[in-house]
A and B are shown apart, each in its own frame.
Chain A
Amino acid sequence: DAGVIQSPRHEVTEMGQEVTLRCKPISGHDYLFWYRQTMMRGLELLIYFNNNVPIDDSGMPEDRFSAKMPNASFSTLKIQPSEPRDSAVYFCASSFRSGSAGYTFGSGTRLTVV
């Protein structure tokens, strides 16, 4: 398996533009997580899915953020409109059932909003 695949690796956009981040989890994993990492706040859980259903979105900063998982092999995190304070590295991770040996993270998307 190629692991968790995220795209793009880097994204630079202007304030007010829509940004879509993409994730392909490991085949067979039934949990998918979106994290945001910044120098000030570390790793923050934004939202996670189980069997394509959103379970906890309490970490989503505000209505500008939305996430979908239309099928078991694809998820998106969308920011509309983007703001400079959204600049961060966004990680997707997947895992197999509750309590299993941790998550497998993707390489992340570095988002810069100017």
Chain B
Amino acid sequence: GESVGLHLPTLSVQEGDNSIINCAYSNSASDYFIWYKQESGKGPQFIIDIRSNMDKRQGQRVTVLLNKTVKHLSLQIAATQPGDSAVYFCAEELTGGGNKLTFGTGTQLKVEL
């Protein structure tokens, strides 16, 4: 189930540092956004979501920021751990899109000990 493409952007961080993964979404009519984590050999796993009427949402060690002006989404991971190593995808849902998500290309996060 590896999702790594030949040209996936890669972010390398030291264990304990904070990570910031960015995503540019395509459609200004999108009103719901989700971050997924995909570990090698597994399916994508829900991390955190945010609706377009919010700018920020926090979870456990993760924060999602939404900038609708420039159609930008970011995922911040605090105190990055080796278990955070994975490919991270952002996904967007159009208003009235019938629950249909469109996924970005993904970012590979590598945590160095």
Is there an interface contact between A56 and B98, defined as CB atoms closer than 8 Å? yes
Interface range, A side:
20 to 34
Interface range, B side:
20 to 34
Verify if A97 is at the interface (C-beta below 8 Å from B).
yes
| Residue ranges of A at the interface with B (Cβ–Cβ < 8 Å) | 4, 31, 33, 37, 39-40, 42-43, 45, 48, 50, 55-56, 89, 91, 93, 95, 97-108, 110
Verify if B105 is at the interface (C-beta below 8 Å from A).
yes
The B interface is mostly helix, strand or loop, or mixed, namely loop
Contacts A102-B49, A107-B1, A108-B43; A50 near B98 (Cβ below 8 A):
yes
20 A–B contacts from the bound complex (CB under 8 Å): A4-B43, A33-B100, A37-B1, A42-B103, A42-B105, A45-B102, A48-B98, A48-B99, A56-B100, A89-B1, A91-B1, A95-B99, A101-B49, A102-B91, A103-B46, A103-B101, A104-B46, A105-B43, A105-B44, A108-B1
